[in-house]
């Protein structure tokens, strides 16, 4: 499907048809397939591009400062300047910065859950549209040469059928005009799912799981590493460590971040 197309939940595609035709066809499509909120399934008279009802849209809360200037963790106290958190001071991560667009709660959590575990691949577009405006400023300042998705092991790819990080990275690549590489970073070792593990166990679990296909191609490059959710950061830290060993400078972007 072309990037500018939208798709109804029933699979009907509304490409960029001529305006005159659209005026006739769109109301008919709305009648046959009424626009429903991607999150709560409520009818939305004016769905717009994101297709969330006002209530679910309000539930997609952005990550707001002050933040840790390195890992992007939001501080609980409002106001004040960004500064390093205790963890990044004691143990500087291998990336220069990590930024997430949305708080991993409420409608954002539901959308990402449906996207990733409910196999609703079409949700990448509303998620990308919701997230990207909150990352534009950071991306413009970073000046990336390349976007890399966190790779899945081939066994997990076969199980799920798609890599959610790649689908998000494709949207970001088009928005910011930054080339995307699907193959430079590889997951070479199978790892158990991270969900039930502690932070220390997660770090241990992913150690040595990634490698670079052609390290010489990444030396000196500025890389945006994309994943869906930042939880403890163990996966993106391990990827960034491998990229740093190859001579690349990494910043991490995620749709959402778990908030304490």
Residue 123 gets which letter from DSSP?
Answer: G
Between CA 25 and CA 191 the distance in angstroms is: 48
Residues from 161 through 220 that contact Zn ion (CB under 5 A): none
Nearest by Cα to 174 from 250, 226, 111: 226
Closest distance to Zn ion from the beta carbon of 54 (Å) = 8
Tokens 């990044």 locate to 88
- Window 40 to 99, contacts with Zn ion (CB under 5 A): 40, 42, 53, 56, 68, 70-71, 73, 85, 88
Q: How far is the CB of 51 from Zn ion (least distance, A)?
A: 9
Max CA distance (Å), the chain: 62
Rule CB under 5 A: is residue 132 a binding residue for Zn ion? Answer: no
Does 37 help bind Zn ion (rule: CB under 5 A)? yes
Question: Minimum Å distance from CB 163 to Zn ion?
Answer: 27
- Region near Zn ion per CB under 5 A, out of 3-11, 33-41, 164-172, 233-241: 33-41
Indicate the residue among 67 and 169 with the shorter CB distance to Zn ion: 67
Calculate the alpha carbon distances from 217 to 95, 167, 185, 213, 243 in Å.
Answer: 18, 23, 11, 9, 11
Residue among 8, 35, 39, 166 that touches Zn ion (CB under 5 A):
39
Minimum CB separation from Zn ion for residue 97, in Å? 9
Pairing relationship of beta strands 13-14 and 97-103 according to DSSP bridges: unpaired
Distance, in Å, from the CA atom of 112 to the CA atom of 45, rounded to the nearest integer, reads 24
Partners of 148 in the beta sheet? Answer: 225
Nearest distance from C-beta of residue 229 to Zn ion, angstroms = 17
- Cis, peptide link before residue 66, omega less than 30° from 0: yes
Query: Which residues of this chain interact with Zn ion, rule CB under 5 A?
Result: 37, 39-40, 42, 53, 56, 68, 70-71, 73, 85, 88
């Amino acid at each position: 499907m072309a990037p500018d197309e939208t798709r109804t939940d029933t699979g009907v595609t509304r490409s960029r048809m001529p305006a005159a035709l659209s005026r006739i066809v769109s109301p008919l499509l709305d009648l046959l397939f009424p626009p429903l909120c991607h999150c709560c399934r409520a009818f939305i008279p004016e769905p717009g591009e994101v297709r969330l009802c006002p209530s679910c849209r309000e539930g997609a809360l952005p990550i707001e400062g002050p933040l840790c200037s390195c890992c992007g963790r939001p501080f609980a106290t409002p106001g004040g300047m960004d500064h390093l958190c205790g963890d990044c001071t004691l143990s500087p991560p291998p990336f220069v910065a990590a930024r997430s667009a949305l708080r991993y709660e409420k409608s954002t959590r539901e959308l990402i859950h449906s996207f990733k575990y409910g196999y609703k691949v079409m949700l990448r577009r509303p998620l990308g549209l919701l997230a990207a405006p909150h990352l534009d400023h950071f991306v413009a300042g970073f000046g990336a040469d390349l976007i890399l998705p966190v790779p899945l092991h081939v066994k997990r790819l076969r199980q799920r059928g798609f890599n959610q990080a790649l689908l998000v990275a494709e949207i970001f690549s088009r928005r910011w005009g930054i080339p995307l590489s699907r193959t430079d970073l590889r997951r070479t070792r199978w790892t158990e799912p991270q969900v039930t593990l502690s932070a220390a166990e997660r770090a241990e679990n992913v150690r040595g799981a990634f490698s670079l296909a052609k390290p010489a191609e990444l030396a000196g490059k500025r890389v945006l590493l994309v994943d869906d959710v930042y939880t403890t950061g163990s996966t993106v830290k391990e990827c960034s460590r491998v990229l740093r060993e190859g001579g690349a400078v990494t910043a991490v972007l995620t749709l959402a971040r778990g908030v304490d």
